[in-house]
């Protein structure tokens, strides 16, 4: 496939079962409604057996979907942010770069809708999906995730001064030149925060779009990762929250 207009990266770590269900739906949807979009899966250090299986699965799907790229892999787990950047760096001249979570919590139709909105945007902007029931879009979450998300959003608003209903939804699109011009530092789940902080520092507009979203069991954002995000907010505050 030639250089895409938009590269959609799917970072995955031990998400093989969910990804096998989500990936063909995404390739189909993007192939139908987002001409010029390519999909790049990056395995972030899953066990070798899963990487071998996933390589074969991606190769099988590539025979059906021309917009799917060969699998990229990390030999060890390096974090969601690093996996996204590995994928984005594989197509440095793409006008737009996106990522979506491998579990399909954001449906393929919503990924395609945000990608298409980016393509229709006249000026460069960071486009982020947000989970907000007040928008009328259905959002299904486990009760403990609701509590954790609410606490985290309060923490982010206070320390980083973001007036956003959601910073961590795993679906975002950025201009390729914006990505190429910055020395990125966050390798883990705090990469979403770094995107927003860098956009603010660069005066890049942020466009939020409510989406339908359904929590999936087995998410890699566990209790330890959530605590790490709270710590990351405190760590990022003096350096970039201006």
Model confidence pLDDT, tens digit, residues 116-138: 999 899 899 999 999 987 778 88
Beta bridge partners of residue 172, listed in sequence order: 99, 128
Q: Which CATH class is domain 6-143+166-183+205-217?
A: alpha beta
Residues whose CB is less than 8 angstroms from the CB of residue 198 and which lie 6 or more positions away in sequence, other chains included = 178, 182, 184, 204, 240
Q: Dihedral, CA atoms, 116, 120, 126, 127, nearest 10 degrees?
A: -40
Q: What percent of the chain has pLDDT over 70?
A: 93
Q: Which helix (H) or strand (E) holds 97?
A: strand 96-100
Q: Are 5 and 95 in contact (CB under 8 A)?
A: yes
Domains in the chain: boundaries: 6-143+166-183+205-217
Question: At residue 19, what are phi and psi to the nearest 5 degrees?
Answer: -65, -40
Distance in angstroms (rounded) separating the CA atoms of residues 26 and 23: 5
Q: Say what the pLDDT of residue 241 is.
A: 44
pLDDT of residue 218: 58
Distance of CA 150 to the CA centre of its chain: 20
pLDDT band, very low/low/confident/very high, at 6 (cuts 50, 70, 90): very high
Find how far residue 81's CA is from the centre of its chain.
Answer: 9
Query: pLDDT tens across 52-106, in order?
Result: 999 999 999 999 999 999 999 999 999 999 999 999 999 989 999 999 999 999 9
């Amino acid at each position: 496939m030639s250089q895409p207009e938009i590269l959609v990266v799917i970072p995955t770590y031990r998400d093989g079962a969910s990804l096998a269900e989500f990936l063909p739906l995404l390739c189909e949807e993007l192939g139908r409604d987002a001409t010029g979009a390519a999909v790049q899966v990056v395995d972030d250090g899953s066990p070798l057996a899963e990487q071998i299986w996933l390589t074969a699965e991606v190769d099988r799907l590539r025979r059906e979907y021309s917009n799917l790229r060969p699998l990229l892999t990390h030999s060890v787990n390096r974090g969601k942010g690093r996996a996204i950047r590995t994928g984005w760096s594989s197509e440095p001249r793409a006008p737009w770069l996106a990522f979506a979570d491998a579990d399909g919590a954001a449906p393929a139709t919503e990924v395609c809708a945000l990608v298409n909105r980016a393509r229709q945007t006249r000026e460069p902007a960071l486009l982020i999906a947000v989970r907000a029931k007040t928008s009328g879009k259905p959002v299904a979450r486990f009760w403990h995730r609701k509590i954790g998300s609410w606490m985290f959003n309060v923490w982010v608003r206070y320390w980083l001064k973001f007036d956003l209903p959601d910073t961590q939804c795993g679906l975002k699109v950025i201009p390729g030149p914006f990505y190429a011009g910055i020395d990125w530092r966050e390798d883990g789940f705090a990469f979403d925060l770094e995107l927003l902080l860098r956009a603010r520092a660069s005066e890049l507009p942020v466009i939020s779009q409510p989406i339908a979203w359904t929590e999936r069991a087995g998410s890699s954002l566990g209790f330890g990762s959530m605590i790490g995000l709270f710590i990351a907010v405190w760590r990022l505050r003096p350096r970039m929250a201006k």
